[in-house]
Amino acid sequence: MNLTVIGTGYVGLVTGTCFSAMGNNVTCIDIDEKKIENLKNGIIPIFEPGLERMVLKNVDKNSLHFSTKLNDGLTKASIVFIAVGTPMGDDGSADLQFVLGVAKQIGQEMQNPLIVVDKSTVPVGTGDKVKSVIQEELDKRGVKIEFHVVSNPEFLKEGAAIDDFMKPDRIVIGADNEVAFNKMKDLYAPFTHNHDRLITMDIRSAEMTKYVANAMLATKISFMNEVANICELVGADVNQVRIGIGSDSRIGYSFIYPGSGYGGSCFPKDVKALKKIAEEKGYKANLIASVEEVNDRQKMVIADKVVNRFGNDLNGKTFALWGLAFKPGTDDMREAPAIYIIKDLVKRGAKINAYDPKAMEEAQSFYLKDVNGITYFNSKYETLNNADAMILLTEWKEFRSPDFEELKSQMTNPIIFDGRNQYSNLDLDKKGFEYYQIGKRTN
């Protein structure tokens, strides 16, 4: 099929690349001329394992193209995906200006029948708005061209997006007619060859599914972090509690690992948006609001532990910090706990020696560019020289089994603050460390 994907951010680029890998002819459109020029030259704007290789391969096969002109994609396309950003507004709602702007342009330029697919995460009812905007533009032109609007939310995990797309656990299609359903079934047939994972429903239910999925996962994270804080107060070990409850098949082990809170592009934004959707209908979503409140508080737990150990005045103190990204496998620092923890410690006079395998450029150029007192290093061990403690905030694989003797030899004090409980089963106190973790009282 001939496909067009509008927006070359995380979702759009992964979507277009994976469809092209299955034999489709895909044109990715973006108004950012520099980004498109870079993509044409093989420069990928994001880090995602396997993505660069797949982009280059399909560009070389002439099945993946990039352009700044929408008409380049609409001329032959039978399906067009809207994958532009829906940033969070000041009130927590999703900002639809880019989605509706694209819909307007589609209505102005389309010449042939189209399936228009909302791939962006959008509030319930957006499909109706997209349909109305396109139809309004067609009416202005005085033309009748058949089109159908579909909701096809993405369920991609950063760091595993290629596998998630190529081997999906479900494909949700929201539409209001068989023409659209059948077209989307044909498109996704190669991805469901071994098992039918395609779930069809109405458009509004599909839009709601995305928000509810992310809110549910965020709820599990916040619930376990709340439990961790209680465990610490009563003298229980949340790591043992996690095993005890996770063995129940009704609960499972996924998303019940205590830590420093969730971040990224999806959970924070989608939880806020779902709460706002409820408010707009006169409903107070107390549970969802609590998920957000717990997470905001959890991001500061490690900073609080540092202050409790060293005092409010951190002048003269240096901390080695391992991990800046909100999770391993990505350079994404949006709403990462590291941002809040670093800013709090620096405000108290501390110096930070930071290292992350992928996210340091993001930190230096954007998220922490105005924060003084941070020195960035090229390896984890370089951060340790004369550090008063090490703080771990992202569970990258290279942090899992460090040389603890090396840590002790370089640090002023053998102290570890573990924001992801990576070393909770290692009995570090017997190795001569002062060890602070989430959800277990330090003796």
Which of the residues are catalytic? 266
- How far apart are alpha carbons 88 and 217 in whole angstroms? 19
Main-chain dihedrals φ then ψ at residue 355, nearest 5 degrees = -145, 135
Q: Quick one: which H or E segment has residue 117?
A: strand 114-118
**DSSP, residue by residue, 153-210:** ---PPTTSHHHHHHS-S-EEEE-SSHHHHHHHHHHHGGGGSSS--EEEE-HHHHHHHH
- How far apart are alpha carbons 163 and 261 in whole angstroms? 25
Structure tokens at 294: 């717990």
- How far apart are alpha carbons 98 and 101 in whole angstroms? 5
Contact, 324 vs 362, CB < 8 A? yes
- How far apart are alpha carbons 188 and 183 in whole angstroms? 9
Structure tokens at 391: 């703080």
Q: Which of 45, 47, 49, 3 is nearest to 28 (CA)?
A: 3
| Residues 70-107 as b or e (16 or more Cβ within 10 Å = b) | beebbeebebbbbbbbbebeeebbbebebbbebbebbb
| CB atoms closer than 10 angstroms to residue 57 | 14
Pairing of strands 79-82, 2-6: parallel
Token pair 């002062």 is found at 434
